Structure 1
Amino acid sequence: MKTIVYVDGFNLYYRALKGTAFKWLDLLALCQAVLPKHCDIIGINFYTARISGRIDPSSPRDQQTYLKALSTLPMLQVHLGSFQVKDKEMFLAQPPKLRPRNATPLNPLPRFATVVKSEEKGSDVNLGVHLVRDALLGKFEHAAVITNDTDLCEPLRIVKEDAKLPLTLMTPVSKPAENLRKLATHVRNITPYLGPAQFPQAVQISDGKVVNRPAGW
């Protein structure tokens, strides 16, 4: 059964990879381990955005290293949205929760504060549009989606109910969002497969150079 996998990169990272030793993830190995043997994976679409180094200066370099490792997977395509980091004035919960906890509370307590707000734009929209387009063009017989983002409910519904095609939710969490779970033909938890589905420490890329797993990954 011809299968295309659609990966919500930021949702995968924040739901399953952040704070773990599994960020050097081989997406093809993961998909092959999670999906049944009769699924012939003909494409993997990875949706992300180039991140800012404002909070962590090493993050853009580490991400670029990972994208180079992913480039060795012949059936994988990276689709880039945009990533915005800006200062924004926001209303504070009252009373504010301070960090560290032993910080001296301000007097009087502020009602607003300027915070550093990061937003990823376009990835979920691109994923949803490409998923529906490919279904209606007959590019796959079965789709698999890695996400727990309920913004993607409508594209999933169109594939399953309107295009009448099977869809597997490859959930990055133990308890997926109920709205997504109801729309999926099958639900498979990817968490047990993250550890085994890692790239080797050093990966040779197309120009003959080698990229190494980033420190701390």
Structure 2
Amino acid sequence: MPTVNIYVDGFNLYYGAFRTRWPQYKWLDLQGFCESLLPGREVKRIRYFTAQVRNTPQNPGAANRQRIYLRALATLPKVEIHYGHFSTHDVRLPLANPPRNGPATALVRRTEEKGSDANLAAYLLLDCGRSDSDEAVVISNDSDFAEPIRLVRDALQMSIGVINPSQRRRSIQLWQAASWSYPIINERIFRSNQLPLQLTDANGTFSKPPAW
């Protein structure tokens, strides 16, 4: 059976599949999910790329809910979690419709996720360059990954697929760069791959957050 490594863009999966479409399935068994997506292949390694979120006044429990989910993912033997980080800074931007006698700009606080995309591309090229598996799959709809995917396909002569978790139109750049691609359109694959409500690790027993 051919082996496959899977590279998951965590925020793209979250916003593409869970934010609006299927929020009830966020307690996802990522290993079971990936194995269900790719029958006939042996899933060797799943690399999950994310960054630790911060609480906000609008969402005061976000950091703790994510922490518990990442703790749950860490119990899955084939899943490895890789972290980027968030950067917050103030920038001055032009107003779209400035008042006639008022300021033309506004000071805006911008929070950006840094590092996850670069980490995914780096590990993808590292693993494929050392022939760590027979095939690679990227779960994302982010066109920024088109060039590393194209390098894997053309320079390394390796089969690489793209699975789009978003209900939006697929990225043409990714579709053209990959060996194959398709969207996740089946709710059943999420519903049938949920983690147990209660889990145990080396630090004890913990449960799915009520709002997750």
SS at match of 1:204: strand
2:154 corresponds to which residue? 161
Q: Which ranges of structure 1 fall in alignment gaps of 5 or more residues?
A: 96-105
* RMSD of equivalent CA atoms: 1.9
Note if 1:43 corresponds to 2:45: yes
Matching of residues 116-195 of structure 1 within 5 Å: 116-174=109-167, 175-192=169-186, 193-195=189-191
2:72 corresponds to which residue? 69
Contact 1:85-1:118 within 8 A present in 2 as well: yes
The code of the aligned residue for 2:177 comes to: L
1:101 corresponds to which residue? none
Give the percent of matched residue pairs that are identical in Structure 1 and Structure 2: 33
Contact 2:143-2:171 within 8 A present in 1 as well: yes
SS at match of 2:90: strand
Contact 2:13-2:166 within 8 A present in 1 as well: no
Counterpart selection for 1:91 from 94, 118, 126: 94
Contact 1:52-1:84 within 8 A present in 2 as well: no
Q: Once structures 1 and 2 are overlaid, which stretch shifts more, 66-75 or 191-200?
A: 191-200
For residues 161-213 of structure 1, the C-alpha deviation after alignment (integer angstroms, 9 at most, x for no partner) is 11111111111124310110112222232342223222122222233x22222
Q: Assess, with a 3 A threshold, how the Cα gap between structure 1 residues 213 and 109 changes in structure 2: closer, same or farther.
A: farther
The count of aligned residue pairs is 205
**Could you tell me the TM-score, scaled by structure 1's length?**
0.87
Q: Which ranges of structure 2 fall in alignment gaps of 5 or more residues?
A: none
Q: Assess, with a 3 A threshold, how the Cα gap between structure 1 residues 110 and 76 changes in structure 2: closer, same or farther.
A: same
SS at match of 1:21: helix
Contact 2:15-2:166 within 8 A present in 1 as well: no
Contact 2:4-2:136 within 8 A present in 1 as well: yes
**Could you tell me the TM-score, scaled by structure 2's length?**
0.88
Counterpart selection for 2:55 from 50, 53, 66: 53
